[in-house]
Amino acid sequence: MSGSILVAYGSKYGSTAEIAETIGEVLRKHGHSVEVRTAGDVRDVSSFDAVVLGGALYAGRWHRGARRFARRHRKALAVRPLWLFSSGPLDTSATEREVPVAPGVQRVTRKLDAREHVTFGGRLDENADGRMARMIVKSGKGGDFRDFGVISAWAEKIARDPVLGSRP
């Protein structure tokens, strides 16, 4: 298969967007044509041969934009290679062990026959908007828990997946 890959994401504070951009960069390094876009901006996925969809986790729920994207494009996603990722644990758990998949994301994974789902650590810093976000940061639970080495390794795995065809 040759063609393009869409990396779509739902992000509130930009952390998940940066993860999506990193995934896109790795896929491009392997010769794939890639578009990285916010999930809410994607109207049609028919021109893409594969999709990577990610969403930030908030209180155990995937970002609304990612949920809506999966629902809106479910028929097209069901016939394309699909990988899913979540970001959000505000601790090192995502790099230390397998993090349980949020129930809603588990349903999307199953319904759309996604090839894989992975959870990455999240980021929440003192610039975050919202009362709850500020309370979390003030309590000392904020920070950046993303591991870009792990993120890049996962993107490398996707780039080399035989379903995408051979690339340099």
Residues in CB range of 11: below 8 A, 6 or more apart: 17, 20, 38, 55, 56, 63, 65
Structure confidence at residue 47 (pLDDT):
94
Q: What is the pLDDT of residue 22?
A: 98
- So what's the pLDDT on residue 2? 46
User: DSSP letters along 64-104, please?
Assistant: HHHHHHHHHTHHHHTTS-EEEEEE--SSSHHHHSPPPPPHH
pTM: 0.89
Ranges 32-46, 72-86, 112-126: which has the least confidence: 112-126
pLDDT of 85 higher than 60:
yes
| CB 86 within 8 Å of CB 120 | yes
pLDDT on residue 153? 97
Nearest to 34 by CA among 6, 14, 13, 61: 6
Residue bearing the bigger pLDDT, 5 or 143: 5
Mean pLDDT over all residues of the chain? 88
At residue 137, does pLDDT exceed 60? no
How does residue 88 score in pLDDT terms, banded at 50, 70 and 90? Answer: confident
pLDDT at 1 over 50: no
Q: How many CB atoms lie within 10 A of CB 87?
A: 28
**What's the pLDDT score for residue 77?**
97
The reported pLDDT for the residue numbered 118 is: 96
Q: Express each pLDDT in 97-128 by its tens digit.
A: 888 889 999 999 999 999 999 999 888 766 66
* Count of alpha carbons within 13 angstroms of residue 146, beta-carbon side: 24
Residues whose CB is less than 8 angstroms from the CB of residue 80 and which lie 6 or more positions away in sequence, other chains included? 45, 48, 49, 50, 51
Torsion-angle region of 16 (φ positive above 0: left; ψ -120 to 50: alpha; else: beta): alpha
The pLDDT-based confidence of 54 (bands split at 50, 70, 90) is very high
Cα end-to-end span (Å), the chain: 14
- DSSP 3-state assignment of 57? strand
3-class secondary structure, 153: helix
- pLDDT value at residue 13: 83
